[in-house]
Amino acid sequence: MRTVDLFVIGAGSGGVRAARIAAGYGARVIVAEEYRVGGTCVIRGCVPKKLLVYASRFSDAFTDAKGFGWELGARPSFDWASLIAAKNTEIDRLEGAYGATLDGAKVEVIRDRAVLETAKTVRLVGSGEIIRAETILIATGGAPLREAGFPGAELCITSNEAFDQPALPRRVAVVGGGYVALEFATIFSGLGAETTVVYRGPEILRGFDDEIRAHLRSEMMARGVKFRLNATIERLEKTPDGLSCTFAGGDVAMFDAVMLAIGRLPATQGLGLEKAGVALGPLGEVLVDHMSRTSVENIYAVGDVTDRIALTPVAIREGHAFADTVFGGRPTKVDHTTVATAVFAEPETAWVGLGEEQARAAHRVVDIYRARFRPMKATLSGRQTRTLMKIVVDGETDRVLGLGMVGADAGEIVQMAAVALTLGARKADLDATMALHPSAAEEFLTMRTRAERHVRD
Ligand code: NDP
């Protein structure tokens, strides 16, 4: 029986980083991957999504160009098949690069499904080989939730299939009000599909700052995305004219595709975790401590499978910290606070730190600074759009608790603002920073007048 120091199950963001760093410390490492090297982010998540978001933004750019003197001649047309082929080429390239990185690090990659036999042995399902490992890392990620609880839900697609539809659906419903729903609604709508977001609650993006949520929705509506709020689907049926969708209350609408974007579940089924004694949480997530160690001493888990914060950079950081801790002799904890995040909708939306409601629940005095303005580009394009920027400050210490925006380049801007928050910036530090003009980002530095102060008794 072969023996390795580390066996990683899953070659996604967290698993690849952990394997490479551990091998750098001299560990003999095998990674097993049943699908494609790169994981959700590279193969069917962040990367292809962002490429499609770029594609979807051209429709606005063509419209806006006129105000800047451009005459585009014949109406631009869009070819879904070309976009998907180009996207596939890039994903293949990235998958190759991930593989080459692992090869270069002397990590063996086995294209097979691996399951735990015991706490120290792994079985490869295809070949039947059993491999012994001193340490096992579970980095299997997550998968889209498909159980939507209405008849006909099996007719829906998820983000897994959305990238590879044979054609752009003409009429699309996206169920859910989170990241995936809003990003795909942006893509479909920007590419020309009639798009409806079906969300069960009163406002999209639960958990985000309330003003940001409302502002994003109104901006998306201005760009033609329809929203059905407080809406649930009662049943979905296939008809010659497409999918007939009956909503609770009796309304019926026809779509060519209905996409479920109702969350993701940790991929832990059938891995043999229970047999090995690894404790799981209610969603099937692997329970870990602050060092990513499971209930079994030599088994660790990182990334989406642990259901901490389901973001690629977090998985990478967790994988790296695990390798430093276990193979590098440097115990390293991951700080899960102050994680910036963006929704690549149109307009882009990003936040770091506490939203107003969270801040008011946690702090006695909270000051709000806000700027709502017409972006410079809209002056000539004539587009009816407003950027919203907001800063949430602890009124007692002047510490910036959170900030974010809805507007062009929000992700890029908020990423850098996250540095300031990580360093413990005060509002006075933002005020003291010289602005870069003309930019939208400078508004975060020039909001001098407090919009509101909220004091809790
Ligand atoms: P989210 O948890 O963000 O959103 C799920 C949405 O579906 C919510 O609006 C939720 O409503 C709704 N929902 C849940 N269950 C049901 C149901 N049974 N019927 C109808 N609606 C339902 O999940 P996503 O899939 O959008 O994304 C998963 C995670 O992946 C995110 O949390 C994020 O961490 C990550 N991600 C990050 C991206 C980025 O950084 N840009 C992009 C994509 C994903 P409610 O709010 O009422 O619970």
pLDDT tens digits, one per residue of 244-290: 999 999 999 999 999 999 999 999 999 999 999 999 999 999 999 99
Residue with CA at minimum distance from ligand 1 atom 3: 178
Question: How would residue 74 be classed by pLDDT, with cut points 50, 70 and 90?
Answer: confident
Ligand 1 atom with the smallest distance to the CA of 341 is 40
Number of H helices and number of E strands within the chain? 14, 22
386 has pLDDT over 90: yes
Residue with CA at minimum distance from ligand 1 atom 24: 263
Does the N-terminal peptide bond of residue 347 adopt cis geometry, omega within 30 degrees of 0? Answer: yes
- 208 CB within 6 A, ligand 1: no
CA–CA separation, 441 and 371 (whole Å)? 11
pLDDT at residue 298, rounded to an integer:
98
- The tokens for 8 are 């990683």
- 10 CB within 6 A, ligand 1: no
83 has pLDDT over 90: yes
Report the mean per-residue pLDDT for the chain. Answer: 97
∠ CA 189-93-166 to the nearest 5 degrees?
Answer: 40
* β-sheet bridge partners, residue 226: 196
Least confident of 72-86, 243-257, 351-365, 373-387: 72-86
Question: Could you say which of 215, 363, 437, 454 is catalytic?
Answer: 437
pTM reported for the whole predicted model: 0.97
Closest among 273, 277, 323 to 302, alpha carbons compared:
323
Compute the distance from residue 262 Cα to the ligand 1 centre, in Å: 5
- 311 CB within 6 A, ligand 1: yes
Say whether 336 is catalytic. Answer: no
Residue with CA at minimum distance from ligand 1 atom 4: 178
- 341 CB within 6 A, ligand 1: yes
Q: What is the largest CA-CA distance in the chain?
A: 71
Q: Please write the tens of the pLDDT for every residue from 318-345.
A: 999 999 999 999 999 999 999 999 999 9
Per the CB < 8 A criterion, the answer to whether 436 and 375 are in contact is no
pLDDT at residue 73, rounded to an integer:
85
Compute the distance from residue 223 Cα to the ligand 1 centre, in Å: 22
The DSSP annotation for 294-349 comes to -SSTTEEE-GGGG-S---HHHHHHHHHHHHHHHTSS-------SS--EEE-SSS-E
Strand 242-247 versus strand 171-175 pairing type:
unpaired
pLDDT at residue 61, rounded to an integer:
96
pLDDT at residue 223, rounded to an integer:
96
- 207 CB within 6 A, ligand 1: no
Closest among 336, 338, 6, 5 to 139, alpha carbons compared:
6
Residue with CA at minimum distance from ligand 1 atom 22: 262
Compute the distance from residue 451 Cα to the ligand 1 centre, in Å: 31
Residue with CA at minimum distance from ligand 1 atom 41: 343
Running DSSP on this structure, what letter comes out for residue 69?
T
Compute the distance from residue 67 Cα to the ligand 1 centre, in Å: 37
- 159 CB within 6 A, ligand 1: no
pLDDT at residue 115, rounded to an integer:
98
Q: Please write the tens of the pLDDT for every residue from 217-230.
A: 999 999 999 999 99
Residue with CA at minimum distance from ligand 1 atom 38: 179
- 176 CB within 6 A, ligand 1: yes
Q: Please write the tens of the pLDDT for every residue from 4-32.
A: 999 999 999 999 999 999 999 999 999 99
Ligand 1 atom with the smallest distance to the CA of 144 is 25
Closest among 241, 268, 260 to 252, alpha carbons compared:
241
Compute the distance from residue 108 Cα to the ligand 1 centre, in Å: 34
Q: How confident is the model over 107-116, as a mean pLDDT?
A: 98
Compute the distance from residue 173 Cα to the ligand 1 centre, in Å: 15
Give alpha helix (H) positions in 143-209. 159-162, 179-190
Closest among 392, 429, 387 to 409, alpha carbons compared:
387
What are the CA-CA distances from residue 315 to residues 12, 94, 310, 325, 379 (Å)? 9, 18, 8, 15, 41
Give alpha helix (H) positions in 191-254. 210-222
CA–CA separation, 222 and 385 (whole Å)? 8
